[in-house]
Homo-oligomer: A and B are copies of this chain.
Amino acid sequence: MKGGELRLFGVKGLPEISKGMDIAPAILGALKKQGETLQDGDVVVVTQKIVSKAEGRVRPLSSYKPSKLAKALASSLEKDPRHVEAILQESKRILRAERGVIIAETKHGFVCANAGIDHSNIDQGMISLLPKNPDASARRIREGIRKAGVDVAVIITDTFGRPFREGHVNFAIGIAGISPMLDYRGRDDGYGNTLKVTTVAIADEIASSAELVMGKLDRIPVAVVRGYKYAKRDGRARELVRPSSMNLFR
């Protein structure tokens, strides 16, 4: 399921996405204007931001009424108490709150700063929450594209920081039509050694690769990864989340 050659390109010229809009036709239309068409087996990578916009997950900060806890946390972190309230509402668990950042486990199980809430690439005074069920969002976009006769995989991504490493990278938060993992366990490496533990999170690697053609300032919220041979299975982003009991990096 490896090797060969990949082509990656960004999809420009999407309209501004608003609540209730259907993303699949917007992607197909923008591709057409660009002189490109999707092919069976392509992976369509979509940034969380436009999915959240389409699903009404962009809210005015002023709509949040901070609780006592939110106010106390906000004051110690020098954050807006309404922003902290939004983070608390989207979180299952707060891991740390320090130096202006809240590290939270979201209701989906993702561990990231500020529960994935941010306020870039949206109108001022608004915040964007992660989609409620990003796998379902990915399936909807995949279905929409399938209606146009093309069988693709879809990965919805967001940019998170990482423990121990500087800088943010793109991660898969929702997937459809692709197994998120490539499992080498038990296979021979050609030197007579059996590979014991190597499971590669290819959905995250595809997310990272797509970020290289997307850009945060160029309004390229979608990328196409062509040529990667993947296992067609309706995977779940949940498979990428390690149960906290199994997390050895504490």
Contact-residue size bin, chain A (C-beta under 8 Å from the other chain): 35 or more
A153 CB, min distance to chain B CBs, angstroms: 13
Q: Is A48 an interface residue (CB 8 A)?
A: no
Chain B residues closer than 8 Å to A110, beta-carbon distance: 164
Q: Is A206 an interface residue (CB 8 A)?
A: yes
Query: Does chain B have a CB within 8 A of A124?
Result: yes
Residue pair A201, B165 in contact (C-beta under 8 Å): yes
0 or 1 for each of A227-250: is its CB under 8 Å from B? (1 = yes) = 010000000000111101001111
Contact B189 A217 (CB under 8 A): yes
Cβ of B168 and Cβ of A198 under 8 Å apart? yes
Asked whether A17 is an interface residue with its Cβ less than 8 Å from the other chain, the reply is no
Are A159 and B4 interface neighbours, CB within 8 A? no
The answer to whether B166 and A240 touch across the interface, beta carbons within 8 angstroms, is yes
Stretch from A7-15, A19-27, A64-72, A80-88 contacting the other chain:
A7-15
Residues of A within 8 A of B (CB): 2-10, 12, 95-96, 98-99, 101, 103, 110-111, 113, 119-124, 159, 162-171, 180-181, 184, 187-193, 195, 198-202, 204-206, 208-209, 211-220, 228, 239-242, 244, 247-250
